[in-house]
Amino acid sequence: MATTAELFEEPFVADEYIERLVWRTPGGGSRGGPEAFDPKRLLEEFVNHIQELQIMDERIQRKVEKLEQQCQKEAKEFAKKVQELQKSNQVAFQHFQELDEHISYVATKVCHLGDQLEGVNTPRQRAVEAQKLMKYFNEFLDGELKSDVFTNSEKIKEAADIIQKLHLIAQELPFDRFSEVKSKIASKYHDLECQLIQEFTSAQRRGEISRMREVAAVLLHFKGYSHCVDVYIKQCQEGAYLRNDIFEDAAILCQRVNKQVGDVFSNPETVLAKLIQNVFEIKLQSFVKDQLEECRKSDAEQYLKNLYDLYTRTTNLSSKLMEFNLGTDKQTFLSKLIKSIFISYLENYIEVETGYLKSRSAMILQRYYDSKNHQKRSIGTGGIQDLKERIRQRTNLPLGPSIDTHGETFLSQEVVVNILQETKQAFERCHRLSDPSDLPRNAFRIFTILVEFLCIEHIDYALETGLAGIPSSDSRNANLYFLDVVQQANTIFHLFDKQFNDHLMPLISSSPKLSECLQKKKEIIEQMEMKLDTGIDRTLNCMIGQMKHILAAEQKKTDFKPEDENNVLIQYTNACVKVCAYVRKQVEKIKNSMDGKNVDTVLMELGVRFHRLIYEHLQQYSYSCMGGMLAICDVAEYRKCAKDFKIPMVLHLFDTLHALCNLLVVAPDNLKQVCSGEQLANLDKNILHSFVQLRADYRSSRLARHFS
C-alpha cells in the first residue's frame, strides 16, 4: 500500500486506515482462515509502513517550513507597501486641504463680485423700468396711447402690470397739476380691471381652469380682485339648486368648488369660506325665513318641527363643511354663520316650546275627559283642604260625600303616552336648539310642565277622585275600584320615570338643576305614595267591612249550637264559604294591581285584618261540642284561604287560631295539656281563657278552675 498525503485527508479514521492496511497485506487478514494468517509478515509490513510514514512526515515538514518562510517574506513586503500608501495618502490629503481652502477663497471672491454686480444691475433695472413707466406715463400725459402693450388685446397681462404700477404712482402726484392724467390712468385701470374680470368670467364659463388661474393671479394686485371672487362665487351657484333639498345641493356645491378652487386662486381657503358665507347668508337664510315665518304665529307645532328640522339639517351641513380647509378657526366661523340665521328664532324658542307644550297637554287631557263625559272637578287647596287631608290620613274617615265613579279610574295610558311623546320631542328640540348655558334651565322648565300636567293634573287628580270614590267601611256591596287606580298609576309612573332617566337626565346631569329635578321628583313620588297608601288602607277597611256584612248576614247562632247535635251534615258554614270566596277574589285583585314588595305588604296587612275579624267574630258565639267541630272546620277553611296570601306571618296567625278552636272541643280533663301544647304555650293565659269561656259546658264542667 503506497503511502501518500491523500490518504490522510479529512475525514480521517485511524481504525479504518489500519484495517485497510491489514486487508491489503497477504497473510495479515482473515482471508484463507486462521491457517493463512502470518503475523511475521504483518509485523514486517507494519515496520515498513511506519518507515514510509516517517519519510513522508519529514518531506511534508520541509514543505511547511518553506511555505512559512515564503509567507513571512510576503508579509514584510505587504507591510512595506502599506506604509508607502499611507505616506501617499497623507500627501494627497494635504493637497486636498490646500485645494479646499483655495476654492473657498475663490467662492468668497465670486460672491462678493456677484453682490457688486447686483448692486450695479438692480438700480440699472429699476432705472430701465422707471424709464419705461415714464414713457407710458408721457403717453397718458399726451392723451394718446401708442404703445403696443395698450393696443394689443393679447398683451393684457403686461398692460395690467404697467397700469397697476402707474396707478400707484398717480396716487402720489398732486391733484391740482395732474388731475387730468390721474383721471386717465384711473379710467384705464378701471377698463383693464373690467376686461380682466370679463375674461375671467368667460374662462369660467368655458371651464378653462388654467386661464382662470392666470387672470386671477393678475387681478390679485387690483382692487377688483374681490369682485373677481364674487363673480366666481355667483357663477358657481348657477344651476346648483335644482333639487328639492337645498342643504344637499349646498353640500354638493361646496364639494365641487373645493376640488377646483385650489387650482384657480392663490388663497383657496378664503374663497371657499366666502362661498360658504354667501350660501348661508343668502340662500339658506332666505329658505329658513320662508319656512318659518308663515307658521310662526299661526301653527306653533309646525313651527317647532320646522325649526328643529332646519336647525338640524343646517348643523349637519356644517359638520360636512368641517372637512374643508376654511382657515384657522373654522368651527367658530361656521357657528357664527348658523347663529346669524337662527338667532331671531332661538332667542324666544323656549317660550314658544313651553307655551305649545302647555296648550297641547291641556288639550290632550280635556279631549280625554270629554270622551268620558266627565266634568273635571276642582281639587281644593289651602288650609282647610290640607286640614281635611291630614285628618283623613290619620283617622281614615271619609270627609265629604263619596263620589260614584262608576268604575272609571280616570287614568289613560293613551293620554300618558301622548303627553310623554310630546315631552320627549320637546326635550329633543331643547337639546338641539338651546344654548349650552341655557340647556339645563330650559330642560327644567319642560320637566315642570310634564309634572304639572301628567303627575298633578292627571295622576294626582285620578288619585283624588279615586279616594273620593272609596265608600265607607260600612257600605254594603261596595265596588272597590281604587285598586285599578293603583295598578294604572304604577304603570304610568314607570313610564314617567323612564322618560326622566332617558331624556331629562342627560340634559341636566352636570348642572345644579339636577338636584332640583331629583327633589321635585322625590316630592311627587312621596305625595303619590301617601295618597296611594291612604286609598289602599281605606280599601282594605272596605274589604273588611264587606266581610263583616257577609258574616252578619249569613252566620247564625244555631250554626255553632245546633238544636240536634246528631244531625249536622255540613262541613263548614255558609258564611265561611262566602267570606272565603270574597277574600280569594280580593287577593287575586291585589296581586294583579301591584308588583314587587308592595304585593306582600298589602296582603300582609289584609291578612292581619282578616285574622282579627275572624278572631273577634268567633268570640261572639257559644259553642256546643258539635258546634266547636264546625268552628274548627270553618277556621281550617279560612286557613286554606290564608295560604293563597303566601305570607308566612298570616298563615301562622290562622294556625294559632285553629289551635285555639281546638279548645272548644277538647275533653275537660285534657284541657290543661292542650293549653300547654307547642302552638298555645306562648299565648297569654287570658286569651286561652276567653276561648274556653265560649264553650257551652264552661259552667257545668267547671272549666274556670283550670285558669285559677
Cβ(445)–Cβ(356) below 8 Å: no
Which band of pLDDT confidence, cut at 50, 70 and 90, is reported for residue 185? Answer: low
Tell me how far the alpha carbon of residue 156 is from its chain's centroid.
61
b vs e for 568-594, b when ≥16 Cβ sit within 10 Å of the residue's Cβ? Answer: eeeebbebbbbbbebbeebbebbeebb
Q: How far apart are the first and last CA of the chain?
A: 142
| Residues 6 or more apart whose Cβ sits within 8 Å of residue 57 | none
- The C-alpha atoms of residue 518 and residue 451 are separated, in whole angstroms, by 12
| Residues 6 or more apart whose Cβ sits within 8 Å of residue 315 | 338, 432
pTM equals 0.69
- Rounded to an integer, the average pLDDT of 121-130 is 57
Q: Which three cell numbers stand for residue 688?
A: 286561652
- Rounded to an integer, the average pLDDT of 571-582 is 91
Side-chain-side CA neighbours of residue 599 (13 Å): 16
Cβ(274)–Cβ(225) below 8 Å: no
Q: What share of the chain is helix, strand, coil (3-state, %, to 5)?
A: 75, 0, 25
- The C-alpha atoms of residue 582 and residue 372 are separated, in whole angstroms, by 30
My answer on whether omega of the bond before 11 falls inside 30° of 0, hence cis, is: yes
| Residues 6 or more apart whose Cβ sits within 8 Å of residue 483 | 536, 539, 589, 590, 593
pLDDT at 227: 80
The percentage of residues in the chain with a pLDDT greater than 90, rounded to a whole number, is 29
Cα distances (angstroms) measured from residue 173 to each of 34, 115, 144, 178: 140, 34, 20, 7
Q: Which tens digit of pLDDT belongs to each residue from 602-640?
A: 999 999 999 999 999 999 989 888 888 889 999 999 999
When mean pLDDT is compared across 43-52, 97-106, 469-478, the lowest value belongs to: 469-478
Select the more confidently predicted residue: 211 or 34.
Answer: 211
Q: How many helices (H) and strands (E) are present in the chain, helices listed first?
A: 26, 0
Q: Can you list the alpha helix ranges (DSSP code H) found in 297-382?
A: 300-321, 330-346, 349-371
Cα distances (angstroms) measured from residue 475 to each of 462, 547, 589: 22, 11, 20
Of the candidates 679, 681, 674, 676, the one whose C-alpha atom is nearest the C-alpha of residue 695 is: 674
At residue 435, the 3 state secondary structure works out as coil
pLDDT at 440: 93
Q: Does the pLDDT at position 442 exceed 90?
A: yes
- The C-alpha atoms of residue 60 and residue 79 are separated, in whole angstroms, by 29
To the nearest whole number, what is the mean pLDDT of the chain? 81
Cβ(651)–Cβ(645) below 8 Å: yes
Q: Which tens digit of pLDDT belongs to each residue from 147-179?
A: 555 555 555 555 565 556 655 566 556 555 555
Q: Does the pLDDT at position 454 exceed 60?
A: yes
- The C-alpha atoms of residue 391 and residue 534 are separated, in whole angstroms, by 11
pLDDT at 428: 94
Q: How many CB atoms lie within 10 A of CB 644?
A: 17
When mean pLDDT is compared across 54-68, 147-161, 197-211, 387-401, the lowest value belongs to: 387-401
Q: Which tens digit of pLDDT belongs to each residue from 654-672?
A: 999 999 888 888 888 888 8
- Rounded to an integer, the average pLDDT of 347-352 is 92
Q: Does the pLDDT at position 529 exceed 50?
A: yes
Q: Which three cell numbers stand for residue 692?
A: 274556653
pLDDT at 443: 94
Q: Does the pLDDT at position 14 exceed 80?
A: no
Q: Which tens digit of pLDDT belongs to each residue from 250-304?
A: 888 888 888 888 888 888 888 888 888 888 888 888 889 988 988 888 889 999 9
- Rounded to an integer, the average pLDDT of 241-245 is 79
Q: Which tens digit of pLDDT belongs to each residue from 363-415?
A: 999 999 999 888 887 755 444 444 554 554 445 454 444 555 566 888 889 99
pLDDT at 401: 47
Q: Does the pLDDT at position 59 exceed 60?
A: yes
Which band of pLDDT confidence, cut at 50, 70 and 90, is reported for residue 140? Answer: low
Q: Does the pLDDT at position 681 exceed 50?
A: yes
Q: Which three cell numbers stand for residue 321?
A: 363643511
pLDDT at 364: 94
Cα distances (angstroms) measured from residue 390 to each of 207, 383, 537: 86, 11, 14
Select the more confidently predicted residue: 196 or 477.
Answer: 196
pLDDT at 34: 65
Cβ(642)–Cβ(610) below 8 Å: yes
Q: Does the pLDDT at position 235 exceed 90?
A: no
Q: Does the pLDDT at position 135 exceed 60?
A: no
| Residues 6 or more apart whose Cβ sits within 8 Å of residue 263 | 209, 213
Q: How many CB atoms lie within 10 A of CB 190?
A: 15
Q: Does the pLDDT at position 214 exceed 70?
A: yes
- The C-alpha atoms of residue 548 and residue 179 are separated, in whole angstroms, by 120
- The C-alpha atoms of residue 666 and residue 678 are separated, in whole angstroms, by 16
Cα distances (angstroms) measured from residue 103 to each of 100, 107, 663: 5, 6, 135
Q: Which tens digit of pLDDT belongs to each residue from 583-592?
A: 999 999 999 8
Which class for 302: exposed (0-12), middle (13-18), buried (19 or more C-beta within 10 A)? Answer: middle
- The C-alpha atoms of residue 226 and residue 125 are separated, in whole angstroms, by 32
Select the more confidently predicted residue: 401 or 236.
Answer: 236
Which band of pLDDT confidence, cut at 50, 70 and 90, is reported for residue 7? Answer: low
